[in-house]
Chain A
Amino acid sequence: MRLSRLVLDEFRNFSHEELSPAREGVTLLRGANGQGKTNILEAISVVATLESFRGADSSAMIRQFQPSARIGAELLGERDHLVDIEVVLTSARTRAFRNGNLLKRNGDIVGEIRAVAFFPDDLDLIKAGPAVRRRFLDDGLIAISPRFGPIRSAFERAARQRARLLKQVGGHLTNDLELALDVWDDRVADTGSRLVAHRENLCGLLIEPVNDIYQRLSGESGTVSISYTRSWEGELLDALVQSRREDVRAGIPQLGPQRDDLAICLANRPARSCSSQGEQRCLALALRLGIHRVASEGGLDTVGLGPRSDFAPNGDPPILLLDDVFSELDPIRSAALAESLPAGQVFISAAGEIPSSLKPAVALTVSSGRIDR
């Protein structure tokens, strides 16, 4: 499916605006800072995943003094196959409609269209703590398949239950507690092993595209290595049982998928500490674009989440959202990016200069919550 129309009502700084993006190629959103360019990209990410890529909660996305915000998206597939998606945000809850029908489970619209976003904070992928990188992998898996969503939430819920139990027991391991922990260890291990298998699989698939993209953007031949680092050894269930005494004493779990990391190296040196700011920016962008390429080409079966035809019958690549990307890169790298953009729908926001080689199919101007051609 392609996004053929986007309507924003009382969303962020827009009262009522709509836009028709390019069906193929770049839709450029120009305008000074603080005019609402990023908000448009955010609205697209909400339609794709029901979450803001900025991690904002719904009340932050509703225009001031309004009870609710509405995002309407018209999706067009092959042979004029038309789907209308509507997401209504109130501070209390989010409701999703497909062709006018309220969906019983919001998750059912995830995957109607897919999106991969790069935004300035993505430098954190290299610089910040492991949580950001785990989230990168999980978001990537969701961009590849909506089926991953339930796998992640099953693990998160089981892990929360076990962590809460550890907190409640006050440091003493009794027979009763052993029995209760047996149960939660089993649930965490069952859901966690599946989660980690998918994350590791994705890491393997990313290596080649990320290297290719990094070299194109940077013009350097430095090798990027990406490896998933588990916080335990052997089977997860055995590791949980072994660390039980320590977990109970500390009151928090010492290991598990919620403590894993992604090790990113450039020319065999950790990118976090050894790379320059420019290299790190380039690397972060290559990681996101790598996800986009895996999601466009690889298809689902490569990560074991079921047949591709289940969710993307026409095989359209995910929508690529690039927020303020050119201000992040020097002119040479900007030009390299403009020349190597992937096929499909690409949205780019820009406040300043854009490379002359960028040929947008649609160019829009955003100023104070208005969108003009």
Chain B
Amino acid sequence: MAAYAEPVQQLIDEMSRLPGIGPKSAQRIAFHLLKVPREEALRLARAVNEAIERITMCRTCFNVSEGDVCVVCSDSGRDRTVVCVVEDPKDLVAIERTGEFRGTYHVLQGVISPIDGIGPDQVRARELLARLEPEGIAEVIVATNPNLEGEATAMYLARLLRPLGVVVTRIASGLPVGGDLEYADELTLGRALVGRRELSG
């Protein structure tokens, strides 16, 4: 096999470590970067550098943050009595985009999964517990994914938090808006039926 010059091979190898990038794509991206104007490629390098150097974790909710406190936690217009628990910062952004939620968040940074060596101490459950009293939290909305590990984590949080007098709720699951009944899988449709509600009007 003909080898590339060492720095090129290194670039390809690093690229192919990224999620969703196979060896072919890594090669294409690497050569793209070598072809574009020098400034453009260096801008990417700087962006990576900046993000790594400047982004830390919010010390309250464990969202990604520039500084000790993230943009959500430092927003004084937020309702501090309601906390939405999500698996990772991407889920937080997804919920923010709905514009329906004005409370604060708690990012677990994972879900309980013994197979992957992740127990309650590896997700930020204890940190959530510690927030309840000082922040006067009345409701915790659990928005973990509706799969086995997500449900198990939700149940764990409910059992952990309920004795302390907070209301623990779970986001509903069912059909996507604008979707088509006939394309829904049986599990989703089944849940949507179980979780039906009376129409008012």
- Chain A residues with a Cβ under 8 A of chain B: 147, 150, 154, 157-158, 160-162, 164-165, 168, 176, 179-180, 182-184, 186-187
Contacts and interface: CB of A to CB of B under 8 A. Distances in A.
Contacts of B117: 168
B114 A154 contact: no
A184 B152 contact: yes
A161 B120 contact: no
Interface stretch (B49-57, B89-97, B154-162): B154-162
A273 to B, nearest CB: 38
Interface in B101-132: 112-115, 117, 119-120
Contacts of B113: 161
B151 interface: yes
B152 A161 contact: yes
A160 B151 CA distance: 16
A245 to B, nearest CB: 19
Interface string B161-201: 00000000000000000000000001100000000000000
Interface in B140-155: 148-149, 151-152, 155
A161 B148 contact: yes
Contacts of B114: 161-162, 164-165, 168, 184
Majority secondary structure of chain B interface residues (helix, strand, loop or mixed): helix
Dominant secondary structure at the A interface: helix
B186 A183 contact: no
Given A147-B186, A164-B115, A168-B114, A179 B159 contact: yes
Nearest to B155: A183
A18 B70 CA distance: 63
A179 B119 CA distance: 11
Contacts of A183: 112, 152, 155-156, 159
Contacts of A161: 113-115, 148-149, 152
Nearest to A167: B114
Contact of B148 (A154, A176, A179): A154
Contacts of A187: 148, 151-152, 155
Interface string B9-25: 00000000000000000
